[in-house]
Amino acid sequence: MLDLKWVLANLDTVSKRLASRHQPVDLSELKTLSLARNQQISQFEQLRALQNRTSKEIQPKQKVKEDISAILAEMKKVSQEIAGIEKNLAATEQALQAILLSIPNLPHESVPLGKSAEDNTVIRQWGEKPKFNFSPQAHWDLGEKLGILDFERGAKIAGARFTLYRNLGAKLERALINFMLDTHTQINGYEEVLPPFLVNRDSLMGTGQLPKFEADLFKTQEDLFLIPTAEVPVTNIFRDEILDANQLPTAMTAYTPCFRSEAGSHGKDVRGLIRQHQFNKVELVKFVRPENSYDELEKLTHDAESILQKLNLHYRVVCLCTADMGFSAAKTYDLEVWLPGQNGYREISSCSNFEDFQARRAKIRFKDADKKNKFVHTLNGSGLAVGRTLVAILENYQQPDGSVLIPDALQPYLNGVKVIGQPN
């Protein structure tokens, strides 16, 4: 959420930066409501002052038993008027808050301008594309032939976009989770946490999924929501708290299943594991000082990259343009892994700096050197999306006979298994 006072003082700048996202936002109502609120506050304060003055004037009159019935009648009208102003002020505040919650974050000045994903900028690449002397298969064909991915039975159990992992498919998924968590905790310095997989509205409001993106979420009858990413519960660990400055930066990693309804994605990636309603992910979350947040974004991105490097998977780092960033992000790097079976790059991690956008919504603050409360900056990134990493391994490590080699770094997590056997 943006700072209302700052927005109102910089309406032209805010409008211009929001326009670069190609998500039109009408700020005129914000200004109108703010003026109305100021008037209501002024009226309220004037009437309160009148009440206080009159109260002091009444006391000596009461002592001498002077008739004050007219004054009391007048004060009753004032009280009723104050009650009406308080009601209107509450409605105005609620309307202001609703508008603020609907406004996306402002892009950082370093974010490239653009109208679509076509305008994203490739920052760097790592590794080489594998070369095959045969036509590489897509992971859905490999997985079914090897008996490790069962799309038909997954759909029978739960419906479209659900998959049943079997045998070494299930073990490979679990191995990847443990490998990622061990790398981030033992090498990259993150604290491992295991948060709830259900969250309340306040948590989703804090990270920006609500109120705008409720259609993308799975909701229970108890008004709880299945998490779309561990970013939500982990960021909300410190909601409504004031941290000590020496606690920053705080870096946490978590494995969770993730649940997304994929509203609006009908017809996209209908085959395979790329776009599922349920998938596993290891998440990286940081709480940092504002002045360090962009350095921390680079570090977090490199931490996510380290997983791909240890697995020897070719990828590229892409800086998303203004039109392609998520609602809450000020700057985002996507890691896109090469998938030879699909002859293209696919996102496997998205690493973002939200600046104080989430912290302001969730009221996550810290005390600076002057003992003043300031909002932290929050960051997060996938470290990595587990199912998509499994996809990358199947397609990049496939062999002419349809078997799949296991990357060296993962073999200890699979009791030394070096290959997912012969196809059925």
Q: How does 143-173 read in b/e, with b if 16+ C-beta sit within 10 Å?
A: beebebbbbeebeeeeeebbbbbbebbebbb
Using alpha carbons only, what angle is made at residue 101 by residues 97 and 103, rounded to the nearest 5 degrees?
120
Q: Which residues pair with 350 in a beta bridge?
A: 334
| 275 in active site | yes
| 174 in active site | no
Looking up tokens 């697995």, which residue turns up?
A: 311
Q: Of the residues 21, 161, 260, 361, which is catalytic?
A: 260
| 260 in active site | yes
| 124 in active site | no
The whole-angstrom separation of Cα 139 and Cα 394 is 6
Q: Of the residues 275, 289, 316, 403, which is catalytic?
A: 275
Q: Of the residues 350, 352, 355, 382, which is catalytic?
A: 350
Q: Of the residues 21, 161, 388, 395, which is catalytic?
A: 388
The whole-angstrom separation of Cα 300 and Cα 236 is 19
The whole-angstrom separation of Cα 92 and Cα 109 is 32
Q: Enumerate the H helices of 245-321 as residue ranges.
A: 293-310
| 388 in active site | yes
Q: Which helix (H) or strand (E) holds 241?
A: strand 241-243
Q: Name, in order, each residue with C-beta under 8 angstroms of 139's C-beta and a sequence gap of 6 or more.
A: 149, 272, 273, 339, 341, 390, 391, 394, 395
Q: Of the residues 241, 289, 347, 403, which is catalytic?
A: 347
Q: Which residues are catalytic?
A: 260, 275, 347, 350, 388
